[in-house]
Amino acid sequence: MIKKIITLIKKKNTVSNSYSIHILHKEADFLIKKLFEELSELLICFNKYNINKGCFNRYFLIKEICDILYHLLLFIVYNNFSFLEIEKEFLRRSSISGAEEKIFR
Ligand SMILES: N=c1c2ncn([C@@H]3O[C@H](COP(=O)(O)OP(=O)(O)OP(=O)(O)O)[C@@H](O)[C@H]3O)c2ncn1[C@@H]1O[C@H](COP(=O)(O)O)[C@@H](O)[C@H]1O
């Protein structure tokens, strides 16, 4: 699905009524600021629907998570990375534990 959304975003052009195009035409650092904004929304949502407060609503959180992932995908497209490059890095990491990988950073 992630690969599919990247392809969908890449196919969009200026004539389409596209939110992705609208965002991709902003300043270079706009997407990073947008990601901070989306992360803050997740934090607010998490605090509001915190399981300990007894009103945990998984769906609200899922929607916030999707907003973050979507804007991260826009960042990937904006910077001309391919899905394959990201996948390759994850594949490399999958062969070693995170703790082990941390030593080599
Ligand atoms: N998955 C998404 C997706 N998730 C979130 N969003 C957009 O991101 C917005 C969420 O951001 P905010 O919470 O900041 O909402 P906002 O305050 O209205 O946004 P701003 O005006 O502040 O930028 C939503 O209102 C959607 O417009 C998405 N827009 C598009 N996609 C995917 O991208 C494809 C292409 O979409 P378009 O580029 O719009 O054609 C779609 O078919 C979907 O698959």
Q: What is the pLDDT of residues 14-56, one digit of tens each?
A: 777 899 999 999 988 999 999 999 999 999 888 887 766 655 6
Amino acid letter at 38? E
pTM over 0.90: no
State whether the beta carbon of 19 lies less than 6 angstroms from ligand 1: yes
Q: Where are the domains of the chain?
A: 2-103
What CATH fold (topology level) applies to the domain 2-103? Helix Hairpins (1.10.287)
Q: Measured in angstroms, how far is the CA atom of residue 18 from the centroid of ligand 1?
A: 9
State whether the beta carbon of 31 lies less than 6 angstroms from ligand 1: no
Query: Which residue has a Cα nearest atom 10 of ligand 1?
Result: 67
ipTM, two decimals, is: 0.90
Q: How far apart are CA 39 and CA 43, in angstroms?
A: 6
| pLDDT tens digits along 55-64 | 567 888 899 9
DSSP state of 96: S
State whether the beta carbon of 5 lies less than 6 angstroms from ligand 1: yes
State whether the beta carbon of 12 lies less than 6 angstroms from ligand 1: yes
Cα distances from 34 to residues 27, 65, 98, 105, in angstroms, run 11, 13, 28, 27
- Structural tokens at position 14: 């200026």
pLDDT band at 76 (very low <50, low <70, confident <90, very high): very high
DSSP state of 87: H
